[in-house]
Every structure is written in C-alpha cells, then in structure tokens.
C-alpha cells in the first residue's frame, strides 16, 4: 500500500500527501526541494542554496529567487497539511520528513540491512531487502529539477543504485540463481559496458545458464572496449570471472577485490667484506720468506763412517 505521505527524489522530485501529488512543479522549486531533502533534518543556509543552484555565478536576484521558491514550496506543503515539515531558521531552512517517508533514507537503510545479512551469510534474507530498495527508484534521480548541483548529485545517486544491483547479483549468484542475475543485470549491461564488476557478474550468470560461449564473447567485447576507450586491460574482477567461466566454476558471488597492499621494503643485504688487494706478479715474486726452515726429519749421522 502506498504511503499517505512520501518525499521522493529517486526519480521525479515530488511530495505526496493523502495519495495526492502536491504542486511543486517548477524546475527551480524542485531543485530547492531536492536540496532540502538531501540534507533532511539539517538547516541549509540560503547561501548554500544559492551556491548549489548557480555554482558561484548567482545573479543579483538569487536571494529573492530562493525566497520565492521556499515560499511556493511552503504553500504547497500547507495545501497538503505538511506545513510543519518546513521550518525557517536564522539564515536558512530545515525540512524534516516523517520516519519512513523519504525514499532516499529508506533506500539506504534497506541496502545496509541487506549488506549485513550478506556479510553474515544470510543471502536469502538479503534478497528481499535489496529488491525493496531498488523498487523505490522511479527513474533517473532528481528528474524535473534544475540547478548546477543536479547533474553531479544525480550521478552519485545512480552510482548507489548500480552498486545495489551488483549486491543483489552477488547474493543471487551465491544462492545459485543465475537466471535472476540475468534478469536484473541484462538491461544494465548495455548502458554500462565498462562497469567491470557488473559485466563479470553477468558473465557468471550466462555461464550458469549454460551460455559459456556467450559469456566468453562478452569478456572479449569488454576487453576490447577497455583497450579502445581507456587503454586498460581487464581488472581483477573481470579476469577472475573469465577464469571461473573457463573452469566452469560459476557458482558463488564475485568478491570485491581489495587493493593489494604494497610489499614492505626489502631489508638491504649486509655489505660483503672487502676483497684483499690483488698483488701484482712482480710484487709476489719479490716477497722474501720471513720464517726459519723446518726441522729435517729422519736425519742419519756419519760418525760410524768417519771412524775408519
């Protein structure tokens, strides 16, 4: 059942009350509403709003435009019985949605809970939480808003969405359900052909569904794109997936690769003792022995012969 009150930025920016979308429709008003929701529960100063909307090139009427936007948002909230959610403070504004009403906060909580289950080996418990988190998306984040901050912020939010899809693929692979991974990642692979972890998981899913040759073809295509566009060879995730496909070891998640820590510096070897100075042939011949001759052994006297 849909919530009676919902604040949404994972898709078109909007707020609903009593099942009705309130009248925040102008792009700049949606941008201010989105900015306040991105900082839900915290005071956002007028200067921060100006900087986000115009990135250092604010017009002289910037402060007035911000005030007008806030006034229109406040009127729309009042129409939906939500006037108390937006409060004014010295030099700024604070928007405080109710518990469970902001889609971004719900998304983050569900993803964190799923990650905790996956880390504990409870993969079956992680799946519904991730699916519920991804179901909160209704299209590109911050759609309908206009401001300098929108593009970069929307890209950062979309990165969170893709990471959640990769988490879902990981637990589905761990549960031995490659067909579910193909349904989840198939539509994304074309839009993100250089996202190696996503491609690696799709390769394992293809191989798990008996399409090993197609999985290897996908690897070759991705490798060619990486070389052509970025001048790179496949990373650890993609290389490991290729090896698993070749070995037909496709059950289980693709583990995120951690950077290899640098090896400690090798302790220098102790210096070798200096070699004795080489003597020339001339100096070797000129050396005079400085010791007495050894005793003669087995000497026989001549006393008996001299007696005749």
| CATH classification at residue 11 | 1.10.10.10
Whether 270 maps to a domain, the answer reads no
Whether 134 maps to a domain, the answer reads no
Q: Give the pLDDT confidence of 20-79 residue by residue, as tens digits.
A: 999 999 999 999 999 999 999 999 999 999 999 999 899 999 999 999 999 999 999 999
Look at residue 56 and give its three-state secondary structure.
Answer: coil
Whether 301 maps to a domain, the answer reads no
Which of 95, 114, 146 marks a domain boundary? 95
* Size of the chain, expressed as the number of residues it contains: 308
Rg of the chain on CA atoms, in Å: 38
Contact between 207 and 215 under an 8 Å Cβ cutoff? The reply is yes
Whether 182 maps to a domain, the answer reads yes
Range of the domain at 186: 177-257
Q: Give the pLDDT confidence of 221-254 residue by residue, as tens digits.
A: 999 999 999 999 999 999 999 999 999 887 655 5
Query: Is pLDDT at 281 greater than 70 in this prediction?
Result: no
Contact between 80 and 22 under an 8 Å Cβ cutoff? The reply is yes
Domain count, the chain: 2
Contact between 66 and 32 under an 8 Å Cβ cutoff? The reply is yes
Whether 140 maps to a domain, the answer reads no
Which of 36, 63, 95 marks a domain boundary? 95
Whether 76 maps to a domain, the answer reads yes
CA 183, 106, 147, 83: dihedral to nearest 10 degrees?
Answer: 140
Which CATH number covers residue 192? 1.25.40.10
pTM score > 0.85 for this model? no
Whether 58 maps to a domain, the answer reads yes
Cα distance between residue 41 and residue 303, in whole Å: 127
Whether 302 maps to a domain, the answer reads no
């Amino acid at each position: 059942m849909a919530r009676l009150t919902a604040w949404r930025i994972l898709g078109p920016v909007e707020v609903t009350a009593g099942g009705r979308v309130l009248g925040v429709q102008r792009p700049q008003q949606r941008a201010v509403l989105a900015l306040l929701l991105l900082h839900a529960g915290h005071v956002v100063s007028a200067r921060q709003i100006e900087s986000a909307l115009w990135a250092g090139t604010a017009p002289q009427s910037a402060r007035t435009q911000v005030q007008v936007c806030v006034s229109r948002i406040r009127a729309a909230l009042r129409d939906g019985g939500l006037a108390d959610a937006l409060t004014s403070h010295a030099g700024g504004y604070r928007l405080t949605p109710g518990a469970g009403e902001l889609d971004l906060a719900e998304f983050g909580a569900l993803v964190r809970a799923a990650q905790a289950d996956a880390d504990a080996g409870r993969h079956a418990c992680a799946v519904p939480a991730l699916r519920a988190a991804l179901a909160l998306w209704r299209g590109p984040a911050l759609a309908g808003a206009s401001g300098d901050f929108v593009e970069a912020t929307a890209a950062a939010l979309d990165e969170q969405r893709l990471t959640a899809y990769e988490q879902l693929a990981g637990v589905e692979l761990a549960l031995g359900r490659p067909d579910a991974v193909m349904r989840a990642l198939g539509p994304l692979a074309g839009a993100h052909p250089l996202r190696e972890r996503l491609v690696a998981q799709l390769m394992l899913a293809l191989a798990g569904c008996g399409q090993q040759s197609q999985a290897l073809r996908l690897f070759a295509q991705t490798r060619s794109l990486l070389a052509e566009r970025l001048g790179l060879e496949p990373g650890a995730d993609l290389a490991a997936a290729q090896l698993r496909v070749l070995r037909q070891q496709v059950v289980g998640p693709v583990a995120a690769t951690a950077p290899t820590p640098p090896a400690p510096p090798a302790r220098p070897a102790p210096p070798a003792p200096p070699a004795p100075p080489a003597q020339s042939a001339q100096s070797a011949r000129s050396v005079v022995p400085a010791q007495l001759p050894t005793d003669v052994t087995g000497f026989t006297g001549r006393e008996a012969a001299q007696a005749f």
